[in-house]
Amino acid sequence: MQPTLLLGTRKGLIAYHSNGRCWEVENLSFEGQPVSVAYSDPRNGTWWACLDHGHWGVKLHRSADRGANWEEIPAPAYPEGEEVKDGTPATTRYIWSMAHGGTRSGSKIWLGTDPGGLFMSEDGGNNFRLVESLWQHPTRKTGWFGGGRDQPGIHSILVDPRNEDHIYIGISCAGVFETIDGGSSWAVRNKGMRAEWLPDPEAEVGHDPHILVAAPTDPDILWQQNHVGIFRSTNGAQTWEEISQPEGPARFGFAIAVADDDPHQAWVAPADSDMVRTAIKGALCICRTDDGGKHWKECRKGLPQENCFDIVYRHALATSGDALAFGTTTGNLFFSPDRGDSWQTLNNYLPMIYSVQFTG
């Protein structure tokens, strides 16, 4: 297990560190400010904080010394004249995802934003440019639209560790896209998905993946928690198969995590229907599958089972070795040392938690 938990919350970036016996707060930065994503780059240990100031807009900061000092750098900006739709100027409204570009270059970074633009830096974040090939995709203006947010957003960026030019992204609402040439061209990968709100539920675009993840030990196995259920691909997103429980809790939700050492083991954080969006029947639960979604186990030991309204946002469930951690919309932080079989409460009094990451 990596010993640090990095949290992005409604009121700041919070880092917890484990000494092997207990977890203690190591750092609190940007107190009172919304941190949409807190991210640690595993290549060099740099911490990133993506801020969502209501009045001042999007800000981007990085730290080379675990939050002791922060440097503000220019946030990604859309070129003048770009439009989300005809007549609607494109401006960076939110940074929703961040990923490093692999070890080959060592300095490439990807950012996903609302309103649906992907940005890339080749100099460690000093400068970002819009990936024009995706922004100019022929489906964007007519087939992408807002879901939980008013405009489309890129919430997932998966760089294949075997080939850093091979990347998947998840867009709400559009679906899954793939590039095999470093972003020069993109293919839609939504076969097997359905979008019940569209006139054609099997349309090429317009799908709403809530989060997209890949198995670390087999990146051709991908999972998504979608607005209409849980889906899995075993052929590099060429096709998708639904693996939701027809009657059980593992259906609707936002977060999903895959085991470091087993491509068939994964966890989801169920919520009630898209209309309600609270814990199911007032009880908090994490569901685990050990066989690729054929069966699901409810992991409840140590979690509140009555009068609970918590749900888990898409980036707020993480795994490292045997350990899992997740944070909730009401500021509860939970930790499991045994793959979800039992849970410990780390804090009940945090702000709303947007992202959770294990790091060194």
User: How confident is the prediction along the chain (360 residues), in pLDDT tens digits per residue?
Assistant: 999 999 999 999 999 999 989 999 999 999 999 999 999 999 999 999 999 988 889 999 999 999 999 999 999 999 999 999 999 999 999 999 999 999 998 899 999 999 999 999 999 999 999 999 999 999 999 999 998 899 999 999 999 999 999 999 999 999 999 999 999 999 999 999 999 989 999 999 999 999 999 999 999 999 999 999 999 999 999 999 999 999 999 999 999 999 999 999 999 999 998 889 999 999 999 999 999 999 999 999 999 999 999 999 999 999 999 999 999 999 999 999 999 999 999 999 999 999 999 999
Integer Cα distance of 160 and 218 in angstroms: 10
- CATH 2.130.10.10 applies to domain 79-351: yes
**In Å, how far from its chain's centre is CA 64?**
23
Tokens standing for residue 128: 């970002």
Bridge-based pairing of strands 12-18 and 35-40 is unpaired
CB proximity list for 281: less than 8 A, separation 6 or greater: none
Q: Are 98 and 61 in contact (CB under 8 A)?
A: no
- pTM, whole model, 2 decimals? 0.97
Tokens standing for residue 226: 């979608």
31, exposed or middle or buried, with CB in 10 Å at 0-12, 13-18, 19+? exposed
Task: Write the DSSP string, 326-338.
Answer: EE-TTS-EEEESS
Tokens standing for residue 63: 């730290």
Task: Indicate the domain borders of the chain.
Answer: 79-351
